[in-house]
Structure 1
Amino acid sequence: MTTMLKKLWKKATLTTFTVIAFTLSGQAQDGKTEADIQALMQQHDMVGLSVAVVRKGEIVYARSFGLKDVESQTPLTNNDIFRIASISKSFTVTSLMQLVEAGKLSLDEDVSKLVGFQVRNPKYPNKVITLRMMLSHTSSINDSQGYFTLDTIDPAKNPNWAACYNSYEPGTQYEYCNLGFNMAGTILEKLSGERFDQYVKRHILNPMGLYGGYQVDSLDASRFVTLYAYNPDSSTFSPSPSAYAPRREEISNYQMGYSTPIFSPTGGMKMSASDLARYMSMHMNKGEYKGTRIISKKSARQMQKKIADNGYGLALKTERNLIPGKALVGHTGNAYGLYSAMFFQPKEQFGIVVITNGTSAPEVNEYNLALADVINSLYNNLIK
């Protein structure tokens, strides 16, 4: 652990391990869990950490450790919200599945018709690229031209649009692609007639009683957790204020059905670990949370079903190496120094959410090694 962070983190440990766990079986177990987490935080130079554990639809453990903001020495609490990065993709697909159920959309429709411009791999001009391909990262579209605007892939806007496609045939291989999910958010907007951020809030967050959203100015800024990017060359952390850029000017000039990447359907959701755990419970329970159905069982099963060879479905991936012997379904996130993970076991009905706002641990095989250690610790102490 870096000397500076060690001093700050040690000071924080004296004041920040007081957040209430909702249900816990015994003080000894509680103490063992916290001791293990504190050791892992020091081992992996974690600035702050929020965790939530779910069993059979109920949060049985939710705590926050370390610092929300290093400069002000503000402790992290369960009420604080993070930009959760790529776990946001599942909110986009959940919304689209609602439109599928309403008969407004098919997963096998031509993306060209849905977005309003030609979406074709120039090496396979007769091969239709479907929404299902795009949502499973098997479309052959890539992020080489960037993904913060649809101009990159629109032939009328970018002379180099062909570079947005890989050399293989659409539907045959997997490559993670943020651009595809920003396009998916645009499709949601076109077909629903609602601005992307407002649709998700009205049709997912509000019905479930969750606090969060994609638009920065719609949220309480005092609850934002500062994210810290780690520089391995200097072993230092630096804050990433752009994670919560309000983008007011861009929103004031918003073009429905095209400007959607402003809200980042691919990674822009802001939410606490506890509310994310409630959202996870909905997917674990096949689309329903405490009597409120968000998507049908059929839609939930489609999202969780493997499409790509690596286990990726529709914004949810089956991960077999995270906890030995357990096939987990979920997603991870990585942006601006933040690392997040949301995974559940559908049959055994348990799930774990972990989010850190900064760590020196690297990401391997699409999940962060520090979060993998925390997930296994929580499983061994509270589930196993």
Structure 2
Amino acid sequence: MQHHFTKSVFILGIAMLFWHCSEDDELPQTIDQDSLNTLIEEERIQENAPAIAAVIVKDGQVVWENFFGFKTLNTTERPDENTVFILASVSKTVVAVAVMQLVEQGLLDLDEDVNTYIPFALRNPNFPNTPITARMLLTHTSSLSWPTNAEDPNFNNTFESANAPGIYPWLRDYLTPNNPNFQPNSWQNNAPGTSYQYSNIGAAVLGYLVQSISGMDFNSYCVEHIFAPLQMHNSAFKIADLSPTTDFASLYFEGQLIPQYSAPHYPAFALRSTTADMANFMIAMLNEGAFGEVRVLQAITVQQMFTIKVPDKKVGFIWTVLSGKWMGHIGEYWGVSSSMDIHREKNLGVFIVSNDSHIESIYPEGKIYRYIHKYAEQFVD
């Protein structure tokens, strides 16, 4: 079954968001644990967020976590560290790790034409002689569009999770001419490599590159090579790969309950995870790719991923500077608002998620984001 949520024009993923705070909107001078909890709960109620879950990691361990509101609005059951939320564009940080694993294994050249690795010709029809590379896709400079609802009203259509089409052949049909589902508005009139445009379809192409090169379904690849090594036992891009007893937070859009869903461009948005699992992911990224005795990336590869490639957008390989030296990603889609970022110098990480859309307080310049990040500073030596 296909779902159409048409109450408003919706944004799949968010590269950066900005809010203007009034001069009197200052943080308290000090925030202790009790006041933090009170401040977050006040904001949750103010924004009508069903649930908010958040965690702080420092020096390889969880130093604070808490859960607010309710997994489902008609119950009093609160979320916990094993409650699964959909993460929207925070998912893209995992896509970047998967791609960089293949790079360091010598299976993917960042500057090679992606057509070397996939079974169809991916070229911007406006610039058919200009190759597209994985580096361009990782830096949102491939000349692929967002696409927004204006560019394609059907791009954000979703499906019941079990019925969503796979990445391929949908991707081929969507991006290449002479196919019935070809969407020319997915391509900008800018040559690949010449301009920045945040692109969800670009993230789907990266997921398909991983799938094509590895010979594994993208989700299965991530389960085997990222989630299992990092002990992220309640994380997957597809619900079918989670336990039947998985504890899901219900999803809401503008206060209305909506079903769990997926879509063919699922690498861009569909990661399901928990605060416990995302804590492990942040710990590994802060520890230069290592988690305990396991390593998912070499330190030099992590450094490459985080090095800024598009200075005016503060973008590395997918990972983006959100505030100061905090680097990560934010996301929003049907039934989710999310934020995940790490401060490598201070060895701190923060993950915040809600099970409704448009919960602006958890984004940079939002109150909950700033409360939690200020509180996190107390853990720095």
Task: State the TM-score bracket (shorter-chain normalisation).
Answer: 0.7 to 0.9
Determine the C-alpha separation between the residues in 2 that align with 1:107 and 1:64: 40
Give the match for residue 271 of structure 2.
269
Give the match for residue 201 of structure 1.
223
Q: Kindly, what percent of the aligned residue pairs are identical?
A: 25
Matches within 5 A, 1:272-287: 272-287=274-289
Give the match for residue 249 of structure 2.
225
Give the match for residue 354 of structure 1.
352
Offset of residue 220 of structure 1: 3.4
| 2:259 is equivalent to residue 241 of structure 1 | yes
Determine the C-alpha separation between the residues in 1 that align with 2:181 and 2:207: 24
Residues 343 and 114 from structure 1, CA distance in 2 versus in 1: closer, same or farther, beyond 3 angstroms? same
Instruction: Give 2:118's match in structure 1, choosing from 107, 115, 123.
Output: 115
Matches within 5 A, 1:282-297: 282-297=284-299
Specify the SS of the correspondent of 2:318. coil
Deviations 1:166-205 (A, max 9, x none): 1122112211111111111111111111121111111111
Deviations 1:52-103 (A, max 9, x none): 0011221101111111011334322221011111111121221121111111
Specify the SS of the correspondent of 2:117. helix
| 2:59 is equivalent to residue 65 of structure 1 | no
| 2:347 is equivalent to residue 377 of structure 1 | no
Determine the C-alpha separation between the residues in 1 that align with 2:359 and 2:144: 29
Matches within 5 A, 1:22-37: 29-37=32-40
Q: Is the 8 A contact 2:91 2:267 kept in 1?
A: yes
Determine the C-alpha separation between the residues in 2 that align with 1:343 and 1:204: 18
Offset of residue 379 of structure 1: 2.3
Residues 263 and 224 from structure 1, CA distance in 2 versus in 1: closer, same or farther, beyond 3 angstroms? farther
Query: Over aligned residue pairs, what C-alpha RMSD do you find?
Result: 2.2
Offset of residue 160 of structure 1: 4.4
Offset of residue 161 of structure 1: 4.4
Give the match for residue 337 of structure 2.
339
Determine the C-alpha separation between the residues in 2 that align with 1:210 and 1:346: 21
Determine the C-alpha separation between the residues in 2 that align with 1:198 and 1:242: 20
1:84 counterpart letter in structure 2 = L
Q: Is the 8 A contact 2:308 2:314 kept in 1?
A: yes
Instruction: Give 1:153's match in structure 2, choosing from 145, 156, 175.
Output: 175
Offset of residue 49 of structure 1: 0.5
Q: Which runs of 5+ in 1 are unaligned?
A: 1-27, 231-236, 246-260, 321-325
Instruction: Give 2:326's match in structure 1, choosing from 325, 328, 332.
Output: 328
Instruction: Give 1:98's match in structure 2, choosing from 80, 97, 101.
Output: 101
Q: Which runs of 5+ in 2 are unaligned?
A: 1-30, 157-166
Instruction: Give 2:44's match in structure 1, choosing from 33, 41, 45.
Output: 41
Specify the SS of the correspondent of 1:314. coil
Greater relative contact order (Cα 8 A, min sep 6): structure 1 or 2? 2
* Count of residues in correspondence between the two structures: 326
Offset of residue 108 of structure 1: 1.0
Specify the SS of the correspondent of 1:69. coil
